[in-house]
Amino acid sequence: VQLQAFGGGLVQAGGSLRLSCAASGRTFSNYAMGWFRQAPGKEREFVAAIRSTGGSTYYTNSVKGRFTISRDNAKNTAYLQMNSLKPEDTAVYYCAAGSLFPTTVSNRYDYWGQGTLVTVSS
């Protein structure tokens, strides 16, 4: 499956952004989806995941209550709604597709998008 992430940009602290991940090539609804991020000089880290059916979600602690992952299988798209953004959320955000849920381990995901940059100013 091919993934394309978009929706990043520059936002002030406390603001919101919605990232989208458009999928093509294989049956999107067969895959769990995850979002990861990589800040400058840091390793890629797990952010959120959603089951293939959309019925279950999982978040890293630092984004719980602020970020919401969702998906629309009819549109072959996953989303990450980010509210109350903080400067420490600044990173390149990647979407990924895999067969396992929930998994926070990047190498358990089979397909990756190209990343979209989110910059949160203080």
* pLDDT tens sequence across 84-103: 999 999 999 999 999 999 99
Task: Give the pLDDT score at 38.
Answer: 98
Q: Is the peptide bond before 102 cis (omega within 30 degrees of 0)?
A: yes
Mean pLDDT (the chain) is 96
> Is pLDDT above 90 for 25?
no
State the pLDDT confidence band at 32, using cuts at 50, 70 and 90: very high
Other CB atoms within 10 A of residue 13 CB: 14
DSSP conformation class of 11:
E
| C-beta separation of 7 from 115 below 8 A | no
